Structures are given as C-alpha cells and as structure tokens.
Structure 1
Amino acid sequence: MMEAIHRVWVTRARPGADRTAERLTGLGHTPLVVPLLEIRPLDVALDLSGVQALAFTSLNGVAAFAALSPDRSLPVFAVGDATARAAQDAGFTSVRSAEGSLHDLATLIRAEASGLSILHPGAAEPAGDLSAAVGDTARLRSIAVYGAVETRVEPPGDWEAALVHSPRAGRALAALMQGRPNLPVVIAISAAAADPLRTTGFAEVRIAAAPTEAALLAALGNPRPAV
C-alpha cells in the first residue's frame, strides 16, 4: 500500500494556487503554496470589432480579459469547468465548458461555433496551439493578455509531493531542483508537464489520468508513473 502524502507543494501561480490549496485542505492534505510562476497582465489594446465569441483556456485569461475590457456580451467557450465558472463570475452569461483539455475545447468550437470569428485571449507562451487544433472550421485569433515569469523561490520545507499544472511550471521546477538529492514525488497534469521532470531525480513522477485538476488531485493517491 502506498504511503499517504500529507504535505503538498502547490507550484502554480496565484490566484489558481489558492483554489488548489482549498481543495487540498478539503481532501485532508496540508497545502504548501509556494508558486514558481507569477502571472503578470499585459497592457494590450483589445479590438473586438467583428468578434462573435471568446475562447478561454485558463482562469488567467479570463481575469486578464476582464481587466482590459468591460464587454460581457459575447458568448464564451471555456476549456474546463473552473474556467467556465471564472467567466460566469466575471459577468459573462453565455458560457459553454469543454470539460477537459485544449483539444476538447477545439472539438466544442468545431461543433458549435462553425464559421464564427473567435478571439482567444491567452498566455504569451501558450501550452498549446488552439488555432491549429480548431483548424479552418472557425476564424480563431489568439492574443497574449498575460505572461508568466519565474519567481525563483526556494521550495517549502518538508514537502512530500509537488503538483505541476503546466509545462511551463514543469520547466521551472526542473531547473530549480536540478542536482538536488532525495527528491520526493511530483505529480504532473499532463505528459507535456512531466517531460522536463523525467531526468531531474524525483523518486517518482506521476501523470494525472486526464488534464484536469480533479485528476491531478486524484493522482496523489492513485499513482500513474510517467513512461
């Protein structure tokens, strides 16, 4: 039987890190919130002329767009339920959740937004190419509304597992941990997030069964080793 994990390092940026910490506490873990990334909104001019819908791939994209524009009239396609809730909380009334990954979002857009002109406010360094995944079914344009910078902090004390929510966080954690001995367990939300960590020296690298936080948290007690 696997030894229970209690002290869990949350490496993702705030405010998402605080939501993750709440969920960990509810599951009986002790969250250690020490973000490896900091989200910084970009001062960009949004041109919504001709835009018929919005696509959000993260909570950060919703927050950055909401700070840049008061427009809440456009329908929203969100990558997952947490992003959809963030859009609703920001004042959007027509919100559809793909309930999964970027490719699930692309599938939803292809099925329900054929021919529409869609704006995707996202990261300066996106984890995936939504436009390529959507193809020519819809006219999708991406714009960077936020960036992520490494905090270069030291890890928390006595952590037993680290959660990695993105490839960018995976690269930051790998750089920070390189050459350190006796590294415990790391749990990644996807194979892409786990890739930078495979040769870092962790005792175990687990990958969530699906690219969702629910699956990531389930992997704390349901190991899925990286291969």
Structure 2
Amino acid sequence: MGKTVLNTRPETDSGDLAIALQQRGYDVCCAPMLTIDFPALPDDQPGLNLDGVQAVVFTSANGVRAFIRHCPRRDLPVMAVGDATATTAREAGFATVFSAGGDIDDLAALIAQRLPANGGPIYHPAARKTAGDLGTLLASKGYVIDRQTLYEAHAATSLPPAIIDGLAHAAIDAVLFFSPRTAESFVKLVEHHNIQGAMTTVSAICLSPAVKDRLASLKWRRIAVAAQPTQESLLSELDNAIV
C-alpha cells in the first residue's frame, strides 16, 4: 500500500490535484476545509460594471469561475496569480493571459510590469476573505483595484469520521495545505476533535511560509514549505518529505 495523503482543498480545485497525486502513487483521501459558494448578483445589479476597466485580475481559479457566471466578456487581458489560475482563465475563453507564477506579491509585480497605472481601474472578482490585499500593495504606485465580492468560501465545521480515525491511527502520512485559511480551518477542527497529539505522526506540506505560520500551534512529524508557491513545487516537496 502506498503512502496516504490528505487533500484539504475545496472540491472545485481538487480534480487535477487528485490525478497528480494518484500518478505519483499516493493513496488520496479528502476533507475540504472550504466550501465555495457562488451567490447571485444583487437584484439592483444586472451585471458587472467594467466601464473603463483595463484588465481583470484573478487571485484564484474560483475568481475566474465567479466572473464567467456573470459576464460574457473575454476580451480583457488577464493577470493571474499562478499557472493553475491562468489555465482556468484560458479554458474559460480569455485569449490574453499573463501568469505571475507565484503569490500575491508576484502578482503585484506582474501588474506593475504589464499595465500602466493611469490606464484605468483593474477589476478583481474576489472572495470576502482573501490571503492579501492587492489594492494596498499597488496603491502607492497609483493603481486602482476595483475589488468586488463574487464568491464566498465557507469554513468546514467538522472533519469526516474516516479522516479523524485515519489521523488518530497514523493511517494518514501527510496533509496538503494550499492557503492560510485552509490551514486555520484544519487547526480549529483538529482542536475541536481533540486529536492534536496525532499530528506528531503526520507531515504538513505547505504552499507558502504564510500557510506554515497558521499551523505552528500543532506539533507535526515534519512541516515543509514548497520552494515556489505552485502545485508542482508543493508536490515535489511532498515527495521529499515522506519518502
């Protein structure tokens, strides 16, 4: 039997990850820490206001999914935080897509490189809670980020019984964490179910140092951070961590 890896990503983001893990020979179990909801626009808002917008910025694939639910336009250039988000945008029909290949700081640098500050606002479809504030990062350079909440990420309220049992009996070798909020949700649920001690047999594999920081209250067998904030880099770190 191969090593067992727990995927904590939302179901909307788990398809390619599950395939990649299985191709590497891992057994995969899932406990999404976030559920993504795409609410309708307010009754007094028939569509998205993109007047004067010079580009769209996506900080997640769910931002792309939210945008295309409400708007048919695909002519605007796209600035994407990473390659997976960029791929989702291209699959949705956007022709001009640039990937920062990293995190929100890399995205801010990409915008400053590719777009003029005086070219008009940049539209950002986002969740209510985000890992960083893109508008603040770019405000000093004169950019205007028009951020609108188009989807919600709701934290899980419990762990599935099979996952609790797997963690408690050392049947899960590693847990993957792609966002600070996912990590926060997991820690709260581990404490809620009183299985903190079980983490000493588990490796935590994190997409970034910010994700690792949210896991510091638990004692892990090992905690590792991807060299780059990409899925491929995280999977490489997983391979190294649990051989």
Residue matched to 2:73: 71
Query: 2:182 is matched with which residue: 169, 173, 177?
Result: 169
Query: 1:192 is matched with which residue: 210, 223, 232?
Result: 210
User: Using the alignment, how far apart are the partners of 2:157 and 2:226 within structure 1?
Assistant: 25
Counterpart contact for 1:122–1:144, Cα < 8 Å? yes
2:226 matches 1:222: no
TM-score by length of 1: 0.91
Residue matched to 2:136: 132
Counterpart contact for 1:182–1:203, Cα < 8 Å? no
User: Using the alignment, how far apart are the partners of 2:158 and 2:21 within structure 1?
Assistant: 22
Change (3 A) 1:154 1:56: same
* AA partner of residue 124 (structure 2): H
Q: Which one is further off, 147-156 or 163-172? A: 147-156
2:158 matches 1:144: no
Counterpart contact for 1:166–1:193, Cα < 8 Å? yes
Residue matched to 2:85: 83
User: Using the alignment, how far apart are the partners of 2:61 and 2:112 within structure 1?
Assistant: 22
Query: 2:24 is matched with which residue: 22, 27, 39?
Result: 27
1:41-96 deviations in Å (ceiling 9; x for gaps):
13334211111210001100000111111111111111111111100111111111
2:20 matches 1:10: no
Counterpart contact for 1:185–1:205, Cα < 8 Å? yes
- Identity among equivalent positions (%) equals 36
User: Using the alignment, how far apart are the partners of 1:147 and 1:84 within structure 2?
Assistant: 20
TM-score by length of 2: 0.85
User: Using the alignment, how far apart are the partners of 2:205 and 2:2 within structure 1?
Assistant: 12
Total equivalences in the alignment: 220
Structure number with bigger Rg:
2
Q: CA deviation at 1:11?
A: 0.2
Q: CA RMSD in A?
A: 1.7
Counterpart contact for 1:17–1:33, Cα < 8 Å? no
1:113-164 deviations in Å (ceiling 9; x for gaps):
0123210111110101111222334322211111111222425232211101
Query: 2:126 is matched with which residue: 103, 112, 122?
Result: 122
Query: 1:54 is matched with which residue: 53, 56, 59?
Result: 56
Residue matched to 2:231: 213
SS of the residue corresponding to residue 66 of structure 1 reads helix
User: Using the alignment, how far apart are the partners of 2:214 and 2:106 within structure 1?
Assistant: 24
User: Using the alignment, how far apart are the partners of 1:222 and 1:133 within structure 2?
Assistant: 34
SS of the residue corresponding to residue 123 of structure 2 reads strand
Q: CA deviation at 1:17?
A: 1.6
1:170-224 deviations in Å (ceiling 9; x for gaps):
100101112412221111111211222111232222211221111111111234x
**Higher strand proportion (structure 1 or 2):** 1
1:2-56 deviations in Å (ceiling 9; x for gaps):
xx97111000101212221111111111121221110111333421111121000
Q: Gaps spanning 5+ residues in structure 1: where?
A: none
SS of the residue corresponding to residue 110 of structure 2 reads helix
Post-superposition, which runs of at least 4 consecutive aligned residues in structure 1 deviate over 4 A?
A: none
Residue matched to 1:108: 110
**Higher helix proportion (structure 1 or 2):** 2
Q: Gaps spanning 5+ residues in structure 2: where?
A: none
